[in-house]
Every structure is written in C-alpha cells, then in structure tokens.
Structure 1
C-alpha cells in the first residue's frame, strides 16, 4: 500500500515542477526577466597604453650628440667633461610615470642647456584609453604654446612659450621634473647689432618658415616653439622646444643657447635643426 501511494505521488510532483517551469518560461517571453543582462551588454574597457615603463633619460642621448649640442670650453679636464655629459636626473615620484634629465655646458662663445622631460600618461577612466588621455594632455600643451595660425606671418612667439607644462594627468602628485628655463612675461627683447628680424619685426624672431608650428612626421602629434628673451643687461637667450606624443608618452625637448656677447642673437635655424634631430632620435628609440 505504501509503495502504490508513493507511485501516485511522484507523477503529481513532476507535473507541478513542469507547470512551474512553464510559468517561468512564459514570463520570459514577455520582455526579459530581472536576471537578464541589460541591453547593450557591459561597458567596454579602453585598451591600456603601449608603454608601461620609461627609458632612463640621461642615458638616452649619445655622447656624440651631447658634444654636438653642448660644446664645452676647449682644454677642459676630462673629469669635468664627463660630469657635464653625464647629466643631472630629475627628481620624480615614480620613474615609471615621469623622468627627466638636464645638461649645461659653457664655452667662450655661448652657454647651452638641454632639458628632456618624458611623461607616461595613465588614464584611470575605464572608458578612456591611456593614449586618448595623453592626447588631451598634449593638446593642452599645444594650446598653451599659442602657436600662430597656419599662414599667419605676423604672429610672434609667446613670451613664456618655451616653458614646459607640468600639468598632472591624474590624482597623483605632480612630479618635480628637471628645472627648465622659462621666460618671464615681463622679459623684453631689444634691438641689437647683428640681430635677425623675423616676420613680426622683433629682433631675434624666427625667419619665415621657422615660426613656432605643428610638426609632421614626428610621433603621433608634435609641435615646435621658439622663444627669445632678454632679462636685464644679459645677452638674449633663445629656447627651442619640441614636444611630441607617441601613444601614451609625451616627450619634451628644450634646447637653449645664450651667447657670451650681448650683441649676439642665437641662430633660430641651427637650434631648431638640432632640437628636432634629437627629438627624432628619441622617437626612434621608443619604437625599437
């Protein structure tokens, strides 16, 4: 008797389970159950940047290039030359995020300074890639440089366009990079013997074709700035800055010359050629 009652009960239970399953299926046909994924699926995560680390900057420039850019006093002791070309590393909080190096050499004719700043940009927004965030940072630098509009032959370099932008890209403290030579907005440029006059009429201004401008063929985006200034009775100094972006890394090269004689003006074409040449070498190293 017990066995028969058990047989009668099992089919009833099965029928109940089938009915429940059918009810759930029917509810799903009406437009999705609460457990179904939301329309469109999960938000895609942006790809990380191409570069995860940074090259040591003081060793990124060959001794031959440094000697070309930074001529030292003839007959200088070998130890002193080695110290000059060894460079001074910038103090930063994280060498995987920002590095820099500076060099300075004096000769009888002029004083030269070279500064390299390298920043690896990281986006903490999963919807924005590191490269896109780096482009935003680069765009701010280009805007701050106040480059003349294409075809504008009357524009002159911004007084402080030679300084680098140390804007931080995230919540981490800004790195204390290498000290760069900035030009005070109050600095003035006065006519002097032998000085060149560019399209703007200002002595020392770049000649036509050498104005501050966007550069092609260097990284993903690049621009060049050229600023001349004099403070007090010192000779005019010229700073050429080349800034370029490759993926999520932004590199700034600043090359400054200050003649020993107040009547001399640094040659724009020569400084620009040397600064651009070094920038191309650094870009090639990043692609190795």
Structure 2
C-alpha cells in the first residue's frame, strides 16, 4: 500500500511539471511578440560636413599677407621675414576642434595685426545636428557684436529732386532782373541730391552689417578706438559659418602718426577678400 501511494504521488508531480513548462513556453512567446511590436528606433541628427580643420598658419598665402601686413616686405633680414610669414599658432588642446594663427608686423607707418580662427562644431545631442549647433554659436557671436538688423537708408530712399524743388516757392515775375550771376543759381538741385545719396550709400557700405555672399552666414564689424590725441586703431572683424565650421578673422591697424585714421574701406576690402579665400579653400 505504501509503494502504491508513492508511485501515484510521483506521477502527479511529473504532470504538474509538464503543465508548468507548457505554460512558461507560451508566456515566453507572448513576451517576444510584444517586444517586437513596441520596439522603436531613434534617428540621430546628421553630422556636419567637416571632420577636420586646415592648418591655420598655412591657410593664408604670402601674397595675401603682403596685402594685409604691408610692413612684412620691408623686413630686411630674410630669416626674420620668413618668421613673420609663418605666424604664431594659437595654443589649443584639441586641434580637431579649434585652431588659429596670429601675425603682427610693424612698419614705419603702422603696426598691423591679423588673426584667423577656425572652430569645428560638434553636437553631442542626437536630436541636434552639427550644422544647427554651429548656427547657434554663430548667432551668439553676431548678437554679441550688435550688428544692425537692417541697413541704413539707401539712395532709393532719399528725397527725389522733384520733392525738394516743389517745396520751394515759385519766383515772382515782378522781381528785378540782374545781370550778375546768382550764387544760388549755380547749384543744381539734382546734382546736390545725387551727391548726398552717394555719400549715404558709401557710408552704408562700410557700416557693420550682415554679409549675404559669404558662406552660409556672415557678418562684418568695424570699430575705431582712440582719439585725436593718440593714434587711432581700427579693428575689422569678419565672421562666417560654412556648415559646421565657424571662421573668425580680426584685422587691426594702428598708425604710428598721432591723429591718423586707418582707411575703413581699404581694411574691409582686404579682410573680406581673405574671408572669401578661406571659404573657397574649405569648400575645395
């Protein structure tokens, strides 16, 4: 009787184990299906176009340095002149992310300085692309420089000759005639208005402003420091963004003679020419 009870208990235990295995197998299948149905994939933002940066001290040609730093060709010693061309690399701890170079040359007329900086922007947020992060950095620089949002009035917005002449009263027919020429008669209203419009346009052309033909975004700043009692230093800054690289150019000139003011248009033209060359080299 005892042996029969033992066999019956063993059979019951085996049946329970088999039922548990069957149930567990079904549950596992359900779990796998649910994971497959609810799984999602995250798409990372696009990386920037640039993975490396140029060698900054070699990015500016000798001809360009001759233009921006006129005193460099006046250096008599060949070794000193070569050293001036080489510039001084900016100290940086990650040359894959940020590099720069500095030049300083003194001449009999002025001291000229040039700096060029490249920053390759990398976003560490999968939802933000490198380009968008670089755009944010560029916008911060432009905002800090306080670049005007709109340009000053152009020639088309100046009063027309008809507006200025219509406001003047018509001459009286009873006024006595004079054989002597009048000084006011020698002034042509149209010419005066044209000259005023040209001066306004020229002034607008050299003001701090957004540049529309350089990289993806760009601006130019022009600042004059000093007074008539000291030599006035002019600093022209050009900043532009191409994809995920932000380039900053600073060009300074301080004349030796007191009261001398560096030419704004000439310095801006030189800085913009260099910026165009660097943008072309990056895209090349």
TM-score in same-fold range (> 0.5) = yes
1:110 is displaced (CA, Å) by: 1.1
Summarize deviations over 1:148-195 as a string: whole Å, max 9, x none: 231346xxxxxxxxxxxxxxxxxxxxxxxxxxxxxxxxxxxxxxxxxx
* Aligned equivalents of 1:233, 1:265: Cα separation in 2: 12
Summarize deviations over 1:101-127 as a string: whole Å, max 9, x none: 010111111111000011001100011
Q: Where does the alignment leave 5 or more consecutive residues of structure 1 unmatched?
A: 1-12, 154-197, 200-205
**Which of the numbers 274, 278, 285 marks the counterpart of 2:281?**
285
Instruction: Kindly indicate whether residue 257 of structure 2 is the aligned counterpart of residue 261 of structure 1.
Output: yes
* Aligned equivalents of 1:152, 1:38: Cα separation in 2: 58
2:61 aligns to what? 62
* Aligned equivalents of 2:258, 2:227: Cα separation in 1: 11
1:85 is displaced (CA, Å) by: 1.1
* Aligned equivalents of 1:37, 1:101: Cα separation in 2: 55
Summarize deviations over 1:213-234 as a string: whole Å, max 9, x none: 1101211111100011017953
Instruction: Kindly indicate whether residue 41 of structure 2 is the aligned counterpart of residue 42 of structure 1.
Output: yes
* Aligned equivalents of 1:38, 1:139: Cα separation in 2: 40
**Which of the numbers 226, 231, 237 marks the counterpart of 1:235?**
231
1:50 is displaced (CA, Å) by: 0.9
CA RMSD of the aligned region, Å? Answer: 2.9
Q: Where does the alignment leave 5 or more consecutive residues of structure 2 unmatched?
A: 1-17, 154-198
2:210 aligns to what? 214
2:165 aligns to what? none
Of structures 1 and 2, the larger Rg is shown by: 2
- 1:35 to 1:147, Cα distance in 2 relative to 1, 3 A: same
* Aligned equivalents of 2:99, 2:106: Cα separation in 1: 25
1:77 is displaced (CA, Å) by: 1.4
Q: What does 1:128-277 align with in structure 2 at a 5 Å threshold?
A: 128-152=128-152, 207-230=203-226, 233-277=229-273
The runs of at least 4 aligned residues of structure 1 exceeding 4 Å deviation read none
2:116 aligns to what? 116
